Amino acid sequence: MSDIRLKKGHDIRIAGVPSKELVSGTSSTSIALIPIEFPSVKPKLLVKEGDAVTIGTPLFFDKVHPEIKFASPGGGTIQKIQFGARRKIERIIIALDKEESALTTEIFTNNSLVSLGKEKVIETILSANLWHLIRQRPFNKIACPEDNPKAIFVSGLNTAPLSVDLELALKGKEKEFQSGLDVLTNLTDGKTHLTLPKSSILAGMKNVDIHTISGAHPAGNVGIQIHHIDPINPHEVVWTVSAQHVVTIGKLFLSGVYDPSIVVSVGGPSVTSPEHISTRVGAPFTGLLENRIEEGKHRIIHGDVLTGQKASMRYYLGSYDTTLSVIPISYERPVLGWIRPGTSKNAYSLTKTFLSFGKSLFNFSTLQNGAERGLVPFEVWEDMLPMDILPNPLYRSILAKDVEEMEKLGIYECDPEDFALCSFACPSKIDVGNAIKQGLELMEKEG
Amino acid sequence: MKFLKKYFEKGGKLEYFFPIFEMVDTILFATDKQTKSGPHIRDNIDLKRAMTMVIIALIPAVIFGIINTGYQQAQALGIERGWIDNLFVGMGYFLPILIVSYAAGGFWEILFALVRKHEVDEGFFVTGLLIPLIVPATIPLWQVAVATSFGVVIGKMIFGGTGMNIFNPALTARAFLFFSYPGNISGDLVWIAGADGYSGATALSVSASQEGANAVSLLTEMTQFDYSWWNLFMGWVPGSIGETSALMILIGAAFLIVTKIGSWRIMTGSVIGLVGTSLLTNMFSDYSTNTMLSLTPHYHLVMGGFLFGTVFMATDPVTAAFTNRGRWIYGIMIGLLTVVIRSANPAYPEGTMLAILLMNAFSPLIDHFVVQGNIKRRVARYAK
């Protein structure tokens, strides 16, 4: 139990904040599972076009870890398997049946969950083909079932721009959430940590260590919380599960069925009615975004505006996606941009170099607002990173590909998402988050 | 600009000169570069604007420096002149230096951009303005051109350009002048423009001029110039063009700190270093004939180039330390070394330039120790 107060970081005041009401999404006739969203996985298909599947049927497995299979998020027939360059499996699209059936696994009573034992829990999650819900740090990839994590972390708040309000998403699911936590406690000999905001509907959770955290983004990032609660040392692994997936796991153990429902937030300056939508994993973007986007050219992003990826209307909701953001594409070129005074309408900066005062929400666009330059280290990186990590020396060690130095400087504790704000604020327009990603890839390769 | 773009783009007739087109184009209109991945939205600050802020912060010192150049000449010649006339007279000395500095530096910047095929960096806008401010108004223009070229090429370009240099280019240029042509940048004869042969010692040389005396009383006894603390603070004294007025520099410092472009850690650290060290030397001044030891901190602060160097040159983020703790140490060391050099070397009392250049060289070492501290903390946690 600790109380973490962060002074660094920033909550970007982007327009199009999702309203605090939960609406149900339109039901769709097809959904998809997206193998490329698991970069650590070498997928091998278990189904072919035309096969009938139920919710929970494994669609493919990982060649490196054949025991890890991936559940179908819906029941119906395999409509199409889309391949990308070098026959990478991009999407498995499933035409849904009216009445979907589901794969069933063992059912447990609520009281027995805390004492199931590690093996039983792993076996059940693997047999439900949902192991990918459990991820590990460092490297932020699917956990390896043979590992012995020193702790398990669940973040009970989202602070990323336009992200899902977990208080809203988890309301009425406290019981399943508790069951999910009970299950997870079996997986580690160490502690299971749940980090919450100052007041939370989850404050009464049992069998876990509850921590409170306050401060701006990235306070909700699980990596920041790990750093302050029980930091990762070399050769150590911790596991993380996102809060909504804790509910999924809880439901699985109580009912024996995979419930793919999930709450996503849709927001951004281009969204006419930014909302929280109750939908399901794999839902097509058309159903989520249609009639919600203003006229004009826009960039659709799956994920939040800081860490998400470019997408389009033809995309489907990924297994980890809970935020969809839409921002306008702008090619506007202000006259004499380097000296214009700027107002709160047309300039947003963490520096005080514009005459933009007030706290109004800002209509961000895809403009980079400058070209990339050599690194001029103003103090912005340090101000955006609430960790005992030295961003500048770490960045330089990554550029130098100095694996030893990177490890010493704590790269195992880092994840690109924690550095996204540094990239946002950098006057030299350097993407630090991407550098961290490359550094971690190098560590994994050399490791 | 769109109609011109096709000539400069790949395959166009003037393809080779794209960096020049790009420079003019983005000076007129902000770039429309798009985010690719990672953060899809970005802060509105870019390096162009950051550098512009430094230039804005320099404006009070520039205007005051120009007027003061005219004023000092009028004083030396014994004529009465209003401040507007002083401004025009001062312009006559300042503008040629500025133009030569921008022309020489701009030439090298663009040449390197063309050869290396990258965009023209905006860092030189600041360097080109700093150089005229840290030389006396009497400086021969050819020396400005040579020094600027040295500062830009040796001080910056050979390391790879913006972000890679070890020494502040403007200070490199000044150091070059100081060691190559000391007669034109130090001594008693160079500080008043347009009054040939007029000898006037700067406040720093006055306070070091006699052994076994008290520096502050030497300053107050000076009759040729008003070297009272208040006048030194206001800046109506001879010196390099931009460095004399503590007040104007402090206005610039406040602007840099508020906009978050200048590091308050470095500035504060360096003032702490200077005050602390001069208090220490004051304690020893009774036991030594070195008059500089008796100079009190508040005089140290307003004399010579200390404030100008601290606010506009020590804070250059590229050549300073790049960890927050390192920035403190770096600042404190600059203040400390300034006093040490001023006191230990009465022949050349100005110490700020050398202090900053020296700490530029040592900033990677400072960072090394800060990094080691961070690593040790991590290892200690690991060993537990």
Query: pLDDT tens across B177-191, in order?
Result: 998 998 888 877 788
Residue B1: the pLDDT is 63
Assess contact for A311 and A300: CB atoms under 8 A. Answer: yes
Classify A434 in phi/psi space as left (phi over 0), alpha (psi -120 to 50) or beta. Answer: alpha
The predicted-structure confidence for B303-334, as pLDDT tens digits, reads as follows 889 999 999 999 999 999 999 999 999 999 99
Strand partners, A55: A102
Give the number of other CB atoms < 10 A from CB of residue A98.
7
Helix pair angle (A243-255, A174-185), 10° resolution: 90
Q: Answer whether residue B194 shows pLDDT above 80.
A: no
pLDDT surpassing 70 at residue B384:
no
Name which of A325, A333, A420 is nearest B29 (Cβ-Cβ): A333
Q: What is the pLDDT of residues A83-122, one digit of tens each?
A: 988 889 999 999 999 999 999 999 999 999 999 999 999 9
Distance from CA of B32 to the nearest CA of A (A): 5
pLDDT of residue B349: 64
pLDDT at B351 > cutoff 90? no
Mention every residue, 6+ apart, whose C-beta is less than 8 A from residue A245: A133, A180
Nearest to A233 among B26, B49, B382 (CB): B382
Buried b vs exposed e over B10-24: b needs ≥16 C-beta within 10 Å? Answer: eeeeeeeebbebbbe
Length of chain B: 384
Q: What strands, in cross-sheet order, belong to the sheet with A58-62?
A: A43-45, A58-62, A69-71
> How many Cβ atoms sit within 10 Å of the Cβ of residue A64?
11
Rounded alpha-carbon distances, angstroms, from residue B183 to A46, A344, B98, B140: 85, 52, 21, 11
In the predicted model, what is the mean pLDDT of chain B? 89
Q: What is the pLDDT of residue B347?
A: 65
B29 has a chain A CB within 8 A of its CB: yes
Contact B41 A306 (CB under 8 A): yes
Quick one: pLDDT at residue A391?
95
Q: Which residues of A touch B379 (CB under 8 A)?
A: 408
CB atoms within 10 A of CB B95: 12
The domains of chain A are located at 3-9+106-255, 29-96, 380-446
Inform me whether the C-beta atom of residue B34 falls under 8 Å from chain A C-beta atoms. yes
Q: Provide the pLDDT for residue B2.
A: 67
Query: Which residues from B are below 8 Å from A389, CB to CB?
Result: 374
The model's pLDDT over B202-227, given as tens digits with 9 standing for 90+, comes to 888 888 777 777 888 888 888 888 88
**CA B13 – CA A446 distance, rounded (Å):** 47
Please tell me which residue of chain A has the smallest CA distance to B159: A374
- Interface check for B203 against chain A (CB to CB < 8 A): the answer is no
- What does pTM read for this prediction? 0.92
pLDDT of residue A204: 92
Handedness of CA A262, A226, A200, A11 (dihedral sign): negative
Pairing of strands A89-96, A76-83: antiparallel
What residues contact residue B222 under an 8 Å CB cut-off, 6+ apart?
B206
Contact B57, B37 (CB under 8 A): no
Q: Which of B28, B35, B43 sits opposite A336 (nearest CB)?
A: B28
Would you state the pLDDT for residue A272?
94
CA distance A342 to A358: 13
- Residues of chain A short of pLDDT 70, as ranges, are 447
Distance, CA of B281 to CA of B22 (rounded, Å):
53
Query: Is A29-96 in the same CATH topology as A3-9+106-255?
Result: no
pLDDT reported for residue B117: 81
- CATH number of the domain at A29-96, please? 2.40.50.100
What does the alpha-carbon distance between residue B303 and residue A69 come to, in Å, rounded to a whole number? Answer: 74
> CATH number for the A3-9+106-255 domain, one of 3.30.1300, 3.30.565, 1.10.3470, 3.40.50?
3.40.50
